[in-house]
Structure 1
Amino acid sequence: MLLSSLNSKVSEVQEVAQSSSNSCSSESEDKDNYYLCHLNNIRAHIKYLMETCILEPNCVHKLSQLYLVLVLYKQYDSKHFWKDLCIASKTFDQLLKKIADNLVFISTGSHKQIPVDEQLTIALYHFGHFRNAASVEAIGQWAGVSASTVVICTCHVQPFLISYHHLSLLHHSVRVSSLSAKECVEAASCVIWHDGWLLVNGALVPLTEKPDYHGEAYFDHKSNYSLNVQLITLPNLYIVDYVIGHCGSAHNSMIWANSAYPIEAWCVTSYKKPASNVCKNMFFNFWVSNVCIHLEHAVGLFKSQFQSLKGLQQQIKNNQDYLHTLE
């Protein structure tokens, strides 16, 4: 509305200018053209201000760290590459092969997307940091891009990682590592227990505030409002599956857990008090803990690598917010 009113005002001025130029036929044409040129410049500038809302363009100096990570660290310094992206270079290459041909990374418009490896790098760096270091402004400064580009790259990569969950985690890891996991459990306990080669435990992800949507349901035993992530791992600290929200996974093989889980035919847990005070039950709990200690190490390593799990600054006001938070 404002732009249309400005255009009408400019049109009125132009009509007055044309009438005045007709009445003053003695003036030179150069002077008329000069006046009309300035009038068109004013019109163009007003249109620019209305479209961009920028009065004085600001030059933002950027220096990208992507070359340092994707070329130098990846080839010569795997330790710092892991520190920045929280994964090994071989894992990065495998993920890159899987997502390179995805339609979301193919631009159909006039503007080309940034390379897929850079988008994956920005997203992984975003996942691996917490609080101020995870802000889109800080990540944009690190990558030499705008804050909106950080959001776009994360939104491109995140759905693929969610859809790739079952194929990348469960099937590959179980097929390759189940035998070695059984050997590890047998070495930590006894021969009879070697079939229990999976471990499960919950990791709490604190929320910054109490959710408006069933808020009391998020209150945990540590007096925080949090979400629960169930991690299913191997004794060698490999994560083979995870469950966000209510625990819904079940496995045919035996699985080890702490006393927070019920005793089932496929789930071995430690005794709670007062049953744990019995001598033979204390002996049983000792050996169960000897196996489950690997799970505590896996959870600690997982949280230390992906520091975004240390807290979520997300408001949960309805079911849609809840589903968005889980993503």
Structure 2
Amino acid sequence: MKHVSCRKSVYIYLWYVGNTVTYRQLGNLFGVSVSTAWSTVKTVATFLISIGRDYVSWPRGVAALDIINTFERKHKIPGIIGAIDCTHIPIKKPQNHGEDYFNRKQRYSIVLQAVVDANKNFIEVTCGEPGSLHDYRVLRRSKLYRMAQSRYEEIFPNSTFIIGDSAYPSTNWIVSPYKNYGNLTDSQKKFNEKHSSARIVDENAFGLLKTRFRRLLKFTEQTNLAAITNIVVSVCILHNICIIKDDLFENAESNIQNNDEQQADEEHELDHGNNRRERLFNYLLRIFQVT
């Protein structure tokens, strides 16, 4: 395999994740073989993941307080530490258990789950679950869920919580909107509107991610799911680096939105967690005198 300098390796990786070229086209553009182009992209992705904890990590202490305060300043809702959602990454049908990756839009995909702060930074990402899985099932299988169950006070200090759409249950650490079966009060509808205005930061983050890194729109050459997952995670890390460097690409989220349709409801556990949503609802009711 031809030796590729570090600088050229970064260029090859950036061109690959920023476009939808084939590896043959990528190799021709940079004067390397197809196998070298593929190996270079994997190597850079692996390096980014190795430094990922410096850029994508669950906030604690002052960092957590800053996120909570920013959400409250922007949306007047106290206690939010992040917004959770999922998006689908199109892939070629895997050789093994391909049917598991066939999603509700009749395409093959893996799922990217992310928790986002008020400034569109990813603070937790989970990637690689089959596209057929419901968003809540993806959460149940994730490290985040296990941490929330075993280390609740550490992950959600001072009764903080994350917000998610109606695909998620309302628990002691997730607040979802009221499901509208035509019987919501005006106050509950206004609560849902405020909830949505804060939650949209996740959709904006996915829109920004997919516009900047257009590779996420098309993984149709490779069937190596581990390598694809690593590339997706690596661009999430690079997304945060771009935000830190004030490379915001502000128009991105208007170009590509996370338009995944909501899946059919599943029966959820922890229904007692509705108390958290009720407490938040009652707080906002008092503050804004919603009637």
Return the TM-score normalized by structure 2.
Answer: 0.62
State whether structure 2 residue 68 is matched by structure 1 residue 182: yes
Question: Residue 166 of structure 1 aligns to which amino acid in structure 2?
Answer: R
The whole-number CA distance in structure 2 between the counterparts of 1:323 and 1:141 is 25
Question: Residue 9 of structure 2 aligns to which amino acid in structure 1?
Answer: Q
Which residue of structure 1 aligns with residue 46 of structure 2? 159
Alignment of 1:58-207 (within 5 A): 113-130=3-20, 134-170=21-57, 177-190=63-76, 193-207=77-91
SS at match of 1:194: coil
Question: Residue 225 of structure 1 aligns to which amino acid in structure 2?
Answer: Y
Per-residue CA deviation, residues 142-193 of structure 1 (Å, 9 max, x unaligned), is: 323333331231232222223333343116x666753432222112333xx3
Runs (4 or more) in structure 1 with deviation over 6 Å come to: none
Question: Residue 122 of structure 1 aligns to which amino acid in structure 2?
Answer: I
Which residue of structure 2 aligns with residue 286 of structure 1? 193
State whether structure 2 residue 126 is matched by structure 1 residue 236: no
Change (3 A) 1:126 1:198: same
Shift of 1:270: 1.1
Say which of 229, 232, 235 aligns to 1:326: 229
- Residue pair 1:230, 1:242 contacting (<8 A) in 2 also: yes
Question: Residue 279 of structure 1 aligns to which amino acid in structure 2?
Answer: D
* Higher RCO structure (Cα 8 Å, ≥6 apart): 2
Which residue of structure 1 aligns with residue 132 of structure 2? none
Which residue of structure 1 aligns with residue 279 of structure 2? none
State whether structure 2 residue 107 is matched by structure 1 residue 224: yes
The whole-number CA distance in structure 1 between the counterparts of 2:180 and 2:170 is 15
Would you tell me which structure has more helix in proportion to its own residues?
1
- Residue pair 2:22, 2:221 contacting (<8 A) in 1 also: no
Question: Residue 129 of structure 1 aligns to which amino acid in structure 2?
Answer: N
Shift of 1:293: 1.4
Unpaired runs of at least 5, structure 1: 1-110
Percent sequence identity over matched residues? 25
Shift of 1:311: 2.4
- Residue pair 1:123, 1:157 contacting (<8 A) in 2 also: yes
The whole-number CA distance in structure 2 between the counterparts of 1:222 and 1:275 is 27
Change (3 A) 1:325 1:136: closer
Question: Residue 11 of structure 2 aligns to which amino acid in structure 1?
Answer: T
Per-residue CA deviation, residues 34-71 of structure 1 (Å, 9 max, x unaligned), is: xxxxxxxxxxxxxxxxxxxxxxxxxxxxxxxxxxxxxx
Shift of 1:307: 1.0
- Residue pair 1:275, 1:281 contacting (<8 A) in 2 also: no
Question: Residue 301 of structure 1 aligns to which amino acid in structure 2?
Answer: L
SS at match of 1:242: strand
Per-residue CA deviation, residues 120-147 of structure 1 (Å, 9 max, x unaligned), is: 22122212221xxx21222223323333
Change (3 A) 1:205 1:175: farther
Question: Residue 188 of structure 2 aligns to which amino acid in structure 1?
Answer: N
The whole-number CA distance in structure 2 between the counterparts of 1:118 and 1:324 is 20
Unpaired runs of at least 5, structure 2: 130-137, 149-154, 231-291
Supply the RMSD in Å over aligned alpha carbons. 2.7
SS at match of 1:197: strand
Shift of 1:196: 0.7
